[in-house]
Homo-oligomer: A and B are copies of this chain.
Amino acid sequence: MQLRDNLVTDTGWEIREESFNEELLINNGSNFMTGNGYLGYRGTLPEWRADQYVGCFVTDTYDNADGKWEELASAPNGLYVSVSVDGREVSALGGETIDYSRELSFRYGRHARRMSWSMDPRAAGAEANVATPAASAPAESAPPQLTLEDERFASYGNIHLMAARHRLSAHAAGRVTIHAGIDGEVWSLHGEHFRSCEPSSAGDDLYMKTITGERQIGMVVSNRVVFTEGPEPAARELVTEDRGIFRRLDFDVAAGTDIAFELYCVIYTSNDLPDPAGACARDLDQCSEKRYPRLWTEHTRVWDGIWDCSRVDVDGDELAQVLLRYNIYHNVIATPAHTDHLPIGARGLSCQAYQGAAFWDQEIFNLPMFVYTRPDVARRILIYRYKTLDGARRKARRLGYYGAFYAWVSSDTGDEICPSYFFKDVLTGRDIRNHFNDWQIHISPDIAYAVWNYYLVTGDWAFMRDYGAEMLFEIAQFLVSRVHFKRDKHRYEFIRLLGPDEYHENVDNNTFTAVQARYALRAAVNVYVALGDRQPELRESMTARLGIEQSHVDEWRRMVELIHVNEPDLATGVIEQFDGFFDHEDITPDALAERLIDPGEYWGWPNGIAVPTQVSKQADVCQIFTLHRGQYSTEVMKANYDYYEPRTQHGSSLSPSVYGTVASWIGYTDTAREYLVKSSAVDLFNTNKSVSGGTFIGGIHTAACGAAWQMVVFGFCGLELEGETLRFRPHLPESWASVSFFLEIRGALLDVEVASSSVTVTSRATSRSGVGVVVGNTPAEEGGSLEPAESVTLTF
């Protein structure tokens, strides 16, 4: 089916463009990217360079080059291959392209391009600059062509490896020149990250050894080429440049000649092991042994296992299906599942925007899919938060608090790397002091929420004991140090907040923040009690180490009781987003937009157009429901959806999924599906602006990727965990015959199929425990336990 303009899918497992639009270079470089959680390689063509936004981003290479933005270093491009024919460079951007198509298959993350190029420049000169699908069938009188086919993948068999293979088919005689090697001319957002960049060769292998400027992280990019078909080269030369090293190979080909080669690129950094260059050499040798087909097989086996857990199959909605796979794919490759000390970047490894760092997105948007399907991955990401506790403690102390105030933008150490001046006032050119880094405190209770929720879904007490408890306690301590008590009102208040709606900084008693804080404190109290019951000595030593006294725990309990949380209005059911919100000007986002002087203006703090209005950047009150559905009636959710949705600008990619989820719960099923498409296609259809307030914010919106899974499983299928019972309250779109997916709940491995009036849950034989299942509003007690190797179908 056609997805957009020149973008199609055949099986729902891939996207394919059959011509290309130069305006989408940045966007499609992200959409077509490959990656494996260790590295991300942008969806660019082998012959492209910095101007075409070529980038390869390797985890754990944080570097601050411009004094402001700490971000991942942009690695030299170890998959560079360009081809010339009789001195003319073959380029999809050039005028001699006859046909062109490229595809990204989500199943195994395979990027493939096929392109034909006129070997007779005079004939091709009259052709259109960019090939159109109609031009792809060459007429009989067509000029002689060179056909290029290349494919690549970022290996899950060895996460340090990217492998490619190329085939050139010459339909006429000529001189074909291949440049293949490592190119340092790549895209970098904020400056030069390498203090040195040293090209070298060892035998047939090429190396680029770089050292980052700030922390002197060494990164080695290595490259080997193995020719598998074709004539001997007429000439061979090693070309070394300041920022590149290439093999130049000249072939005099006859008509009908094919040249084929495999290319391996291995990357290690000094954060991985002490001798990255040695590791590269070893891995390159392994590649030569295994060769491309076996490397591919090893890679696909891992992916098969991932999809076995992560799949969401929709029967009856091809668009939804391909979008879901696109999003799940990107959520997977963004996630450093191989380690427990690294975050999921808000843009994954698709570019340097948002600094390769975690926001609350990680816990609230990316993580639930993993919690419910691959809890080992979720566990590692949460341990990352444990390992960055010291950074959170430093941040709290620096700002006059104690406990753990997590970084709004968190890289490897957990220290705050969100610049104080994030956006620019494009009207004046002055920097804006955004308070993401000091007022948006909900990050800490959001992490507590994820910790507690992980425990509820997995029952992983060892995690709670070894990691979770300390995080919960320190977050509770931070909240104690941050809250104010209003003696005259006998309540605690959180003052000067920035809630999810980032256009309204500096607000009091933001309801979302208060609800999350109360939840976090309750979890801390629960775990404090449980730890006292199960491991009293551990609790004693832990609280002594953390300086937590009984009076603090008393304060946690008091706060749970007395935190001021705005409740639904008795008459309307609407919950005020923060104190005084309803006094703000009531205007629609569209009407408000007419006040823009410059389309690039930031709408928020301190003087953006949305500040004095009720226009929200994103879901804020409705975000509460997605995390605490059980606490609110459908009527209240509906009242708030109806109030807030028309006042929401969706200036954040986090917003549509929330409204979509709530829409599915309150019976707005068609709207919910529209929101599913809107949220899931934010990148594929390029609907979000990539620059705001002068700051580049493009790349893959990984939170929306994680949200796609949630919209279907939590939203349409209505999954909730009640104690140890799974409840489904499905509202499928009419066109959907069924949805099926996998869940892992406290050791029960479940294949679920939700149809229009039934839910079938099958517990795999490998399940380690039973689980209760109910549908609709059936009381949880009435659901029997589904034991391993059993299946149940419930109708509603």
Interface residues of A (CB under 8 A from B): 400, 402, 425, 427-428, 430, 432-433, 480-481, 483-488, 493, 495-496, 506, 555, 579, 597, 605-607, 611-612
Contact = CB atoms under 8 A, between A and B. Distances in A.
Contacts of A428: 427-428, 597, 607
Contact of A606 (B400, B493, B607): B607
B484 A607 contact: no
A416 to B, nearest CB: 14
A400 B579 contact: yes
A795 to B, nearest CB: 52
B485 A480 contact: no
Contacts of A597: 428
Nearest to A400: B579
Contacts of A425: 607
Contacts of A480: 487-488
Contacts of A486: 484-485
B432 A607 contact: yes
Number of copies: 2
Given A433-B611, A506-B506, A607-B607, A488 B496 contact: no
B555 A487 contact: yes
B607 A488 contact: no
A506 to B, nearest CB: 6
19 contacts: A402-B488, A428-B428, A428-B597, A430-B607, A433-B611, A433-B612, A480-B487, A480-B488, A483-B487, A484-B484, A484-B486, A485-B485, A485-B486, A485-B487, A488-B555, A495-B495, A496-B496, A606-B606, A607-B607
Nearest to A605: B606
Contact of A484 (B481, B493, B611, B612): B493
Contacts of A481: 488
A432 to B, nearest CB: 7
Given A481-B488, A484-B495, 20 more contacts: A400-B579, A402-B488, A428-B597, A432-B607, A433-B607, A433-B611, A480-B488, A484-B484, A484-B485, A484-B486, A485-B487, A487-B555, A488-B555, A495-B496, A496-B496, A496-B506, A506-B506, A605-B606, A606-B606, A607-B607
Closest 5 pairs between A and B when the two form their complex, measured CB to CB: A606-B606, A484-B484, A485-B485, A427-B428, A606-B607
A67 to B, nearest CB: 15
Contacts of A427: 427-428
A293 to B, nearest CB: 60
A555 B612 CA distance: 35
A555 B488 CA distance: 9
A606 B612 CA distance: 13
Contacts of A493: 484
A661 B290 CA distance: 86
Nearest to A601: B428
A678 to B, nearest CB: 31
Nearest to A438: B580
A124 B397 CA distance: 79
A513 to B, nearest CB: 16
Contacts of A555: 487-488
Contacts of A611: 433
Contacts of A433: 607, 611-612
A482 to B, nearest CB: 9
Contacts of A485: 484-487
A141 B555 CA distance: 96
Nearest to A429: B597
Nearest to A427: B428
A480 B488 CA distance: 7
Contacts of A400: 579
A76 to B, nearest CB: 38
Among A428, A480, A611, residue most surrounded by chain B Cβ atoms (within 10 Å) = A428
A125 B481 CA distance: 79
A481 B611 CA distance: 26
A605 B607 CA distance: 9
Among A400, A430, A483, residue most surrounded by chain B Cβ atoms (within 10 Å) = A430
A427 B429 CA distance: 11
A495 B402 CA distance: 19
A433 B505 CA distance: 14
Contacts of A612: 433
A567 B427 CA distance: 41
A605 B433 CA distance: 12
Nearest to A432: B607
A480 B607 CA distance: 31
A138 to B, nearest CB: 56
A456 to B, nearest CB: 29
A395 to B, nearest CB: 14
Nearest to A495: B495
Contacts of A430: 607
A549 to B, nearest CB: 11
A122 B488 CA distance: 81
A132 B597 CA distance: 50
Contacts of A606: 605-607
A386 to B, nearest CB: 24
A606 B493 CA distance: 24
A400 B425 CA distance: 33
A348 B400 CA distance: 44
